[in-house]
Chains A and B, each alone.
Chain A
């Protein structure tokens, strides 16, 4: 066991894992996180807490993790390298570990131009892959990157994100490999709509044996409406929704589109469950956490397994 987190134990025991996401609020109201966490509880093995996603300022991810933990669900800390230099990264990680956070997702972060402070300084002291390496060094060797001994090594199950739909396609598997070389234990993918492309990606990844060296959790996002589908397809870099997919939901009358979106999401998860090399699913029901129970249950993934320490 690298960190002994619930997510790690579930995956190591061979179960199909489920994770979901909680975005902290745009303010200091902790209750907002607690409410979301209550909806997630019992439906996941760990819950991601995002880190100033899209560069939009939100309550810190570490604080969000503590609130999630309070409700009895295991948190998964997302950390971007956009805003913190290596000193702050190390420091925040040690703090999070001390507070009992055992899962980490290392990310680059969307450029600050997308958020409320496009004039902010661009940090990017080390990149996300170097962050993975840094955490692994601290965890497994018990030392700072500078070489000094740690007074207590942080125990993190280390994850990263991959996007099979970003360009260029040919580099996605080599970059995935780099992340594993750096020390990634698990991976969450960007949300999938184009199943064919994802399958092609998995074929390439399996050739390199990457599915055996790391646990791959496939990302899904249920669509609330045809409008949302069209918006995401056009506006969000790295998200690709095939026409047939959009058509299926667009063909429904407006009031039935949400239900259709959920149905399609459940179908996707069931297809993903059958794919070789996929160890779990990451359900990003952003601002729709109340549907999580229906989705995870509908896909036959409840109740979540309890794995002994």
Chain B
């Protein structure tokens, strides 16, 4: 899922300075699963904002909504009848959703309530770790199902570097060395032959480095 972390409340309050009447919009997609932008989080955030503003002597009116998704136009349309009754929208969906909403409702200032993070997985409740960088050219079949671009801090293709210590990365003891994981998996799968081959230079043009990306499915348009 796409993960994110809540913005500090002081930062959000600063963003809300010009407004007295807003919508807080959540999303039932990824951000619900990682407990940062779902229905409950909309309610808690709205209460928090109301309390903080009122204690400072300045009320704020909040309409609380949670949409199925913010990245598909059909789920945003239902907002059209009422969105302009509010001065701004504070969205706690991912960056894609926030931007899409801004595109569909150009007269409404869109404020991000979370810092969107990475494509990740749930290690356990409360802990999510990064798995995929969306490089556009997947080589997981060659590396035992573990991504060298994402899980190695240096995106090395012939790892590990000399900073690997007991399976942890030189960057952080809490971070596993991606190449230690790859090697262990290749050994388990009896695929160490893959290790000994020189890999071609990575083509970064299929990733965001090549420019903002687009997918067109000819069979669907």
Smallest CB-CB A-B distances: 8 pairs: A163-B162, A129-B158, A127-B156, A166-B162, A237-B163, A238-B162, A108-B161, A237-B170
B52 within 8 A of A: no
Q: Are A178 and B162 interface neighbours, CB within 8 A?
A: no
A175 within 8 A of B: yes
B204 within 8 A of A: yes
Q: Please give, as numbers and ranges, the residues of chain B lying within 8 Å of A237 by CB-CB distance.
A: 162-165, 170
Name B180's contact: one of A86, A109, A163, A168 (CB within 8 Å): A168
Instruction: State how many angstroms separate the Cβ of B202 from the closest Cβ of chain A.
Output: 7
Main SS at interface, chain B: loop
Q: Please give, as numbers and ranges, the residues of chain B lying within 8 Å of A171 by CB-CB distance.
A: 160, 179, 183, 195
A308 within 8 A of B: no
Instruction: State how many angstroms separate the Cβ of B214 from the closest Cβ of chain A.
Output: 23
**A126-B202 in contact given A108-B161, A174-B196, A237-B162 (Cβ < 8 Å):** yes
Query: 1/0 per residue A47-84: CB within 8 Å of B?
Result: 00000000000000000000000000000000000100
Residue of A nearest to B196 (CB): A174
| Known contacts A125-B202, A127-B157, A190-B162; 6 further A-B pairs (Cβ under 8 A) | A82-B154, A133-B198, A167-B165, A168-B180, A171-B183, A237-B162
Q: Are B163 and A178 interface neighbours, CB within 8 A?
A: no
Residue of B nearest to A145 (CB): B201
With A and B bound together, what is the CA distance between A190 and B161 in angstroms? Answer: 12
With A and B bound together, what is the CA distance between A128 and B171 in angstroms? Answer: 18
**B-side interface residues toward A, CB under 8 Å?**
153-167, 170-171, 177, 179-180, 183, 192, 195-196, 198-199, 201-202, 204
Q: Are A161 and B198 interface neighbours, CB within 8 A?
A: no
Query: 1/0 per residue A101-132: CB within 8 Å of B?
Result: 00000001111011000000010111111100
Listed A/B pairs (29) with beta-carbon separation below 8 Å: A111-B170, A111-B171, A122-B153, A122-B155, A124-B154, A125-B201, A125-B202, A126-B201, A127-B154, A127-B157, A127-B158, A128-B161, A130-B158, A163-B162, A166-B162, A167-B164, A167-B165, A167-B177, A167-B180, A168-B167, A171-B179, A174-B192, A174-B196, A175-B158, A175-B159, A237-B164, A237-B170, A238-B163, A238-B165
With A and B bound together, what is the CA distance between A133 and B199 in angstroms? Answer: 10
Q: Which of B162, B163, B164, B167 has the most CB of A within 10 A?
A: B162
Q: Please give, as numbers and ranges, the residues of chain A lying within 8 Å of B165 by CB-CB distance.
A: 166-167, 237-238
Instruction: State how many angstroms separate the Cβ of B207 from the closest Cβ of chain A.
Output: 11
Q: Are A130 and B196 interface neighbours, CB within 8 A?
A: no
Instruction: State how many angstroms separate the Cβ of A216 from the closest Cβ of chain B.
Output: 16
Instruction: State how many angstroms separate the Cβ of B89 from the closest Cβ of chain A.
Output: 30
Q: Please give, as numbers and ranges, the residues of chain B lying within 8 Å of A190 by CB-CB distance.
A: 162
**A108-B154 in contact given A125-B204, A168-B164, A238-B165 (Cβ < 8 Å):** yes
A232 within 8 A of B: no
Residue of A nearest to B192 (CB): A174
Q: Are A124 and B155 interface neighbours, CB within 8 A?
A: yes
Instruction: State how many angstroms separate the Cβ of A173 from the closest Cβ of chain B.
Output: 11
With A and B bound together, what is the CA distance between A238 and B177 in angstroms? Answer: 14
Instruction: State how many angstroms separate the Cβ of B20 from the closest Cβ of chain A.
Output: 36
Q: Please give, as numbers and ranges, the residues of chain B lying within 8 Å of A174 by CB-CB distance.
A: 192, 195-196
Q: Are A178 and B170 interface neighbours, CB within 8 A?
A: no
With A and B bound together, what is the CA distance between A115 and B74 in angstroms? Answer: 48
Q: Report the interface size class on chain A.
A: 35 or more
With A and B bound together, what is the CA distance between A237 and B183 in angstroms? Answer: 20
Instruction: State how many angstroms separate the Cβ of A100 from the closest Cβ of chain B.
Output: 28
**A86-B201 in contact given A110-B163, A166-B163 (Cβ < 8 Å):** yes
Q: Please give, as numbers and ranges, the residues of chain B lying within 8 Å of A290 by CB-CB distance.
A: none
With A and B bound together, what is the CA distance between A300 and B165 in angstroms? Answer: 36
Q: Please give, as numbers and ranges, the residues of chain A lying within 8 Å of B154 by CB-CB distance.
A: 82, 108-109, 111, 122, 124, 127
Within 8 A of B (CB), among A162-221: 162-163, 166-168, 171, 174-175, 177-178, 181-182, 190
Instruction: State how many angstroms separate the Cβ of A112 from the closest Cβ of chain B.
Output: 9
With A and B bound together, what is the CA distance between A111 and B152 in angstroms? Answer: 11
Q: Are B164 and A111 interface neighbours, CB within 8 A?
A: no
Name A129's contact: one of B170, B177, B198, B202 (CB within 8 Å): B198
Instruction: State how many angstroms separate the Cβ of B209 from the closest Cβ of chain A.
Output: 9
Instruction: State how many angstroms separate the Cβ of B199 from the closest Cβ of chain A.
Output: 8
Q: Please give, as numbers and ranges, the residues of chain B lying within 8 Å of A111 by CB-CB distance.
A: 153-154, 163, 170-171
Q: Please give, as numbers and ranges, the residues of chain A lying within 8 Å of B162 by CB-CB distance.
A: 108, 161-163, 166, 190, 237-238
Q: Which of B154, B159, B179, B204 has the most CB of A within 10 A?
A: B154
With A and B bound together, what is the CA distance between A166 and B171 in angstroms? Answer: 15
